[in-house]
Amino acid sequence: MGSPRPSSAQPSSPQRSSPLLALFRREIRIARSIGGGGGMGVVFFLILVSLTPFAIGPDMNLLARIGPAILWIAALLATLLGLDRLFQGDADDGSLDLFTMSATPLELVVLVKCAAHWGLTALPLIVAAPVLGLTLGLEPSALAGVSASLLAGTPALTLLGAIGAALTAGLRRGGLLMAVLILPLTVPVLIFGVAAAAAASGGTVPFHTPFLILCALSLISIAGAPFAAAAALRAREA
């Protein structure tokens, strides 16, 4: 067992704040506590990006050309890596059963948990991406494009990943299975994310075309994925 987790589905504060707000605060607290592993995603992202030049050689022109793609692949993997823990801890200590039985809809619980997770893992990636982009020799316009496309696209990655996390919650070998299940579904996000990032640094396609599709993918995921993830969580009980 890890460190003690602040476990309660009900708000413990005396003024009875909204349960969703309390849940959001709880998620942040857990992630920042020892054993929460909040900062691992961005470190993993850093390592993935810095490994690439070793693999393909320090050719700055080549790196600048494929830089947006490297950053996107690294962000995709870093987001998914952290997500397998999204429901695992709650499934282990029983808070997930409390969420399932509570009056708050499970779909909203999923959405709030995803929002907290996105803020904790994806936001640092988006902040770190321009800095790492500099090491890959990206132009300023490309740096802005990568950050904007990550900002628009990572919510879709988090929410799609939440479906996989819900499907594999409570399984012993969930992490690898989750990646196998979800990575094929993230292909459209990756395509339009890299397209938007590449369009920002010049190209035949205007920036807003792939960018708007990327926003649409995120909005569709926000609207639909919580239902699938909540259904998957309810399906765990026999």
Partner 1 sequence: MLKYANPTNFLALAARLIPWLAGASALALVAGLYLTFFVAPDDYQQGSSVKIMYIHVPSAWLSMLCYMVMASAALGTLVWRHPLADAAQKAAAPLGAAFTLLCLVTGSLWGKPMWGTWWVWDARLTSVLVLFLIYLGLIGLWRTIEEPAQAARAAAILTLVGVVNIPIIKFSVDWWNTLHQPSSVFKLGGPAIAGSMLWPLLVMAVAFTLLFFCLHLMAVRNEILRRRLRRLSILAASAQESEGDPELEPAQ
Residue 168, interface with partner 1 (CB under 8 A)? yes
Minimum Å gap between C-beta 224 and partner 1 is 8
187-195: Cβ within 8 A, 24+ apart:
188/217, 189/76, 189/153, 189/156, 189/157, 189/160, 189/214, 189/217, 190/72, 190/73, 190/76, 192/153, 192/217, 193/72, 193/149, 193/150, 193/152, 193/153, 194/68, 194/69, 194/72, 194/149
Nearer to partner 1, 132 or 165 (CB): 165
Nearer to partner 1, 21 or 205 (CB): 205
The number of residues that bind partner 1 (CB under 8 A) is 19
Residue 204, interface with partner 1 (CB under 8 A)? no
Minimum Å gap between C-beta 184 and partner 1 is 4
Return the residue of 66, 77, 148, 181 that touches partner 1, per CB under 8 A. Answer: 181
Helix (H) or strand (E) holding 133: helix 123-135
178-181: Cβ within 8 A, 24+ apart:
178/80, 178/83, 178/84, 179/80
Residue 73, interface with partner 1 (CB under 8 A)? no
Chain positions 182 to 201 lying near partner 1, rule: CB under 8 A, are: 183-185, 187
Binding site for partner 1 (CB under 8 A): 163, 167-168, 171, 173-174, 177, 180-181, 183-185, 187, 228, 231-232, 235-236, 238
